[in-house]
A and B are shown apart, each in its own frame.
Chain A
């Protein structure tokens, strides 16, 4: 016993334990090669063997050295339960098993560093959206539409919409003519591929989303837009016509913007929009974090940075008030694109969401072209676990409060509301989207589900969620070329396209029974809840 200290970390302290059947193993080495966390390794074990070879039993005992696969007992190499070993083993000889008696939360902080991981919140069980049902079904007086035959207008605005009395119309001979410029508004599909940067994602994963976006636009007639994330994007894309499908993001670190600005003179088309990230729902009040491990050479090139941890500050430095800071940023960005590109803002859902929204709505310059509210269930990338699990707001009530505040002022729709954070968490993004739209959103944005469609195995129960380590076993959130190569770009893009086509059909399936051929923005009467508190809070009907 004296060589083992009771404080030593053992496999039993880790969240996942490897179940290994030596008798089935052929020692092919696939599992250890596949394990990007190096949580398993080949080892030699001294075994006692009893054999008898004669006609009569004459057992004799001897010792043999046998090769085995063994789990590494260190926090740095803890198994994440990703299951790549099980996936690749030809004999089904190995698999991770959840360890309910894990001491991981205690031992993992032994380096004096906060615990980091990717994924989404793990503690917030249950979603409001799942307690809401589309309850008004058209019957005899207002017949339901046929979702297969009717045409549906499934588009949402991205850009500042003027109030009717602000429209610069002049009437001439029974016709109205726009006699002045209006702020730019792009009508796009009500589902935006959310901001995940090159850097956070592997270039191949990012490319797969971009490919899916272009395919959906050009082949499927679905004007889906993709947000670049903070890291900038390849010059080739900036200078291509496909830029029109991209929303460029500027966050507090301004990473990648140098390149974007340099590419501006050679841009053939305008981007679909600009999204200024003030905060994110997964870790509100935190900035961005790209660990040095993920800052590969091409990332350094795109972002113009050395290989180091890239931390965006929690706010845009040097700007201190909503009115002033937002206007400054918007004015400069609008000026950069000659006021042709709408600019929106993304904030984390919080107690002050409505205040921010009200401020934006009252902005006399009519600059803000969208308010993106990101809820607690959003997020991937790298975050401190304490932030992921213990900070933030569910998005639904915040969205509703913003919408109702606009209603009170008669300004609904003027700054389009986009909501996200956990959209598609339970697999059905169409249902989530429609419910959010009925509550007042013009559209939704979703990110995590895209990487899940590409093959990410991370989930809400603590499986994998290692986006922060640069060792993503699916080749999605890594910059290690050997790991990234695991991702089949075409297959990943195809999965996203197929999901979106299904989502489009499902949206129609939900719009048809409520009799709507255009998006039912603010049609809260179409929803009901079986929970009184939710019904009260959201001002929808309570049913039981």
Chain B
């Protein structure tokens, strides 16, 4: 069983905090990888928060291919941050030659475009780069989005952190929101794209558990949106459904849970909103997600969300101290980074509950 975690804070913090959140949950790691998505950045990226940030791991040739593609498509690099890996030590990491985090200026003819048009452009660019690198076998592109940085690598999470100097807070990498997982998925091959969290157009999600409706979810999602690709892990279904419900259908967030774990018909029939819930269950039946799971998601506005399967077969806990809120599979993780908080206020979401943490760190929770 995987362990997942997320931290949302009013103040910028260093990803080492996320590592300390995950460390006590180490029995859930199998040394197959580490991945995190950071949002609302400070440090080296503080000056260009409105410019898209490309996160990729690649070979030298891959880096050149990306540069050529971006230049051809009128993206101008503004600044980049290339972590200097700690080499020479015996670290359990299958490192790529380059990790590139680079801000770009939008193509000139997009500078006055609407946000919707820019969103589409950024997605198209990432997908094109992914195909380019994938076909050549020269690298992986994880996200291309303003104010979002994604780091994924294969190996022992502690060693990966050492390699990227994530244990030391030198002020380079700071953020207010981080979602993290210290493991690769176990369903399929170990590949970098399969590592949680997954990212699409501002939506970030990682999951703990299993989605036994993977095949039917995948078959349906494939035709819904050009961004729904890969499917290296059954947990990607959670992300794509979230993106579909919130971004494509533009439904309020409470309906996400009604899509992935619809209420039994018996319960629907006695509710005032039965007509709407029945229509949702009918039309989106193929996005229902079954199997034991817990998810943590981060929305484009920075809000964090967590919820579980309809039977509560996987754990999750939310705790906070007024400045920082953390979500983790196990309470020992939160204890490690927020030892002074009032544990009595910790929330253990149940099977029909959704918990949302907003920018003011206010926690909203409701029954489905």
Contacts and interface: CB of A to CB of B under 8 A. Distances in A.
Interface string A510-542: 000011111011111100000000000000000
Contacts of B286: 412-413, 521-522
A153 interface: yes
Interface in B192-232: 209-210, 212-216, 219-220, 222-224
B313 A143 contact: yes
Contacts, number: 112
A178 B276 contact: yes
A9 interface: no
A99 B322 CA distance: 89
Contact of B220 (A169, A171, A410): A410
B276 A515 contact: no
Contacts of B280: 167, 176
B250 interface: yes
B213 A176 contact: no
Contact of B276 (A151, A169, A407): A169
B254 interface: yes
Contact of B224 (A143, A182, A410): A410
Contacts of B1: 141
B291 A164 contact: no
A181 B284 CA distance: 18
A517 B282 CA distance: 16
B273 interface: yes
B128 interface: no
Interface in B261-297: 262, 264-266, 273, 275-276, 278-280, 282-286, 288, 290-292
A169 B250 CA distance: 10
- Which interface class (under 10, 10 to 19, 20 to 34, 35 or more) fits A? 35 or more
A162 interface: yes
A364 interface: no
B249 interface: yes
Nearest to A150: B311
B363 to A, nearest CB: 17
A406 to B, nearest CB: 9
B264 A516 contact: no
A182 B279 contact: yes
A522 B222 CA distance: 14
B181 interface: no
27 contacts: A142-B292, A143-B292, A153-B265, A153-B266, A155-B265, A161-B285, A162-B279, A162-B282, A164-B244, A165-B248, A167-B280, A175-B252, A175-B276, A176-B255, A182-B279, A407-B223, A410-B220, A410-B224, A413-B282, A515-B210, A515-B291, A520-B290, A522-B215, A523-B213, A523-B215, A524-B215, A525-B215
Given A412-B219, A412-B220, A522-B215, 15 more contacts: A142-B210, A142-B292, A150-B311, A169-B276, A171-B251, A171-B252, A176-B251, A413-B283, A517-B310, A518-B262, A521-B285, A522-B216, A523-B212, A523-B216, A524-B215
Interface of B: 1, 186, 209-210, 212-216, 219-220, 222-224, 244, 248-252, 254-255, 262, 264-266, 273, 275-276, 278-280, 282-286, 288, 290-292, 310-311, 313
